[in-house]
Chain A
Amino acid sequence: MKQFFMLLKKEQLENIRNYKIYWIPAIFILLGILEPTTNYFLPQIIESSGGLPEGAVLEIPTPTPEQMLAAIVEQFQTIGIAVLILAYMGTIAGERKSGTATLLYVRPLSFRAYFLSKWTMASVISLVSVWLGFLAGYYYTYLFFGEVELIKVLQMMGTYSVWVLFIMALLLVASAISPNSGFAAAIAFSTYLLIQLTDGLFGLNWTFSPGKIPQYGLEWLIGAPDSSGLWGAIGIAVLLILLLFAIGSWAAQRNKAKTKV
């Protein structure tokens, strides 16, 4: 436990030094703001780019605030997750390459504490970024399209957070098992796409599938998701996260010989 907090401090320092603590939230806030803004100004944007012929009539229905928040989730699911994967792909693999790992591995190191400290710090930064992004997006949606109850948005954010935690665990395991950070990003991204694809193709009745968590989050906006499905999916996600912890610490220990000096 003592080692965990010590390593956590090291992670925190590292995240400050490479500015991740600043730029990841900035990106998410930008993503959250841009979606409602571009939608609001869509007629002017089309007009100024001059794409329409004379006399064309274009009816753009004003999206409801709920649809706008769904669009923000969509952005986070694609660009947001890609940014997180790029930012944290090297957490373990890159450390082995840069030589920082050598300084750590020569000491009596608990690999469980090592892996957990990395996951905790990466998750804290990603969660805070995602929340700030949602809140910024929510404020702009409120400004341009109308109100959604705050409590619904908070419920949506809470549900989505479980998904982010799951993705971070997946990413760190990928980083622990791969030889370099590019490989880690490839593994994490293909697994992420695979989860979404299988869930989309075959998962109609898989109410417990963790891939449905973002969707359950959105259902909070228009009512309430099926509660047994929601808690089942969250339960399975938590179990998978624990399993990923085990795999990750094991793989980090196993690959410690790959460190470059």
Chain B
Amino acid sequence: MDQTTMIMALVPIIIIQLALMIFALVDLVKNPSPNGPKWMWGIIIVVINILGPILYFVIGRKNY
């Protein structure tokens, strides 16, 4: 396998991670009262890979 196919193979991983992060951030901005300070959730979502957005969706959203 040559270099380009290898890099192409890695693209979906980055796309999914970015999509999760952006999804969570957009929801955080729109959320009037998240479970905890907004800036804290912002840091968690951006800094912690994969797990950050999940944590936000599971415990950060108050209605659940």
Q: Which residues of B contact A27 (CB under 8 A)?
A: 20, 50, 54
A30 close to B54 (CB less than 8 A): no
A30 close to B61 (CB less than 8 A): no
Contacts A19-B27, A26-B20 given; indicate if A86 touches B50 (C-beta within 8 A): no
A30 close to B13 (CB less than 8 A): yes
B13, closest chain A residue (CB): A33
Q: Determine the distance from Cα of A30 to Cα of B1 in the docked complex, in whole angstroms.
A: 22
Interface residues of B in 1-26 (CB under 8 A from A): 1, 5, 9-10, 12-13, 16-17, 19-20, 23
In the complex, the number of residue pairs spanning A and B with C-beta atoms less than 8 Å apart equals 49
A86 close to B54 (CB less than 8 A): yes
Q: Determine the distance from Cα of A18 to Cα of B61 in the docked complex, in whole angstroms.
A: 9
Q: Which residues of A contact B64 (CB under 8 A)?
A: 18, 90, 94, 98
A18 close to B63 (CB less than 8 A): yes
Does B40 lie at the interface of the complex (its beta carbon under 8 Å from any beta carbon of A)? no
Contacts A27-B50, A98-B63, A98-B64 given; indicate if A18 touches B16 (C-beta within 8 A): no
Interface of B (DSSP majority class): helix
Q: Which residues of B contact A143 (CB under 8 A)?
A: 1, 5, 9
- Shortest A40–chain B CB gap in Å is 9
A182, closest chain B residue (CB): B59
B50, closest chain A residue (CB): A30
B49, closest chain A residue (CB): A30
Q: Determine the distance from Cα of A131 to Cα of B17 in the docked complex, in whole angstroms.
A: 19
A23 close to B53 (CB less than 8 A): yes
B23 close to A30 (CB less than 8 A): no
Q: Determine the distance from Cα of A23 to Cα of B16 in the docked complex, in whole angstroms.
A: 10
Q: Determine the distance from Cα of A29 to Cα of B13 in the docked complex, in whole angstroms.
A: 9
- Shortest A94–chain B CB gap in Å is 6
Does A241 lie at the interface of the complex (its beta carbon under 8 Å from any beta carbon of B)? no
Interface residues of A in 129-144 (CB under 8 A from B): 136, 140, 143-144
Does A196 lie at the interface of the complex (its beta carbon under 8 Å from any beta carbon of B)? no
A23 close to B57 (CB less than 8 A): yes
Q: Determine the distance from Cα of A22 to Cα of B61 in the docked complex, in whole angstroms.
A: 16
Interface residues of A in 14-58 (CB under 8 A from B): 18-20, 22-23, 26-27, 29-30, 33-34, 37
Q: Determine the distance from Cα of A101 to Cα of B28 in the docked complex, in whole angstroms.
A: 25
Residues of chain A having any CB pair with chain B under 8 Å: 18-20, 22-23, 26-27, 29-30, 33-34, 37, 83, 86-87, 90, 94, 98, 136, 140, 143-144
Residues of chain B having any CB pair with chain A under 8 Å: 1, 5, 9-10, 12-13, 16-17, 19-20, 23, 27, 50, 53-54, 57-58, 61, 63-64
A selection of 17 A-B contacts at a CB cut-off of 8 Å is A19-B23, A23-B20, A23-B54, A26-B16, A26-B20, A27-B54, A30-B17, A34-B13, A37-B9, A37-B10, A87-B58, A90-B64, A98-B63, A140-B9, A143-B1, A144-B1, A144-B9
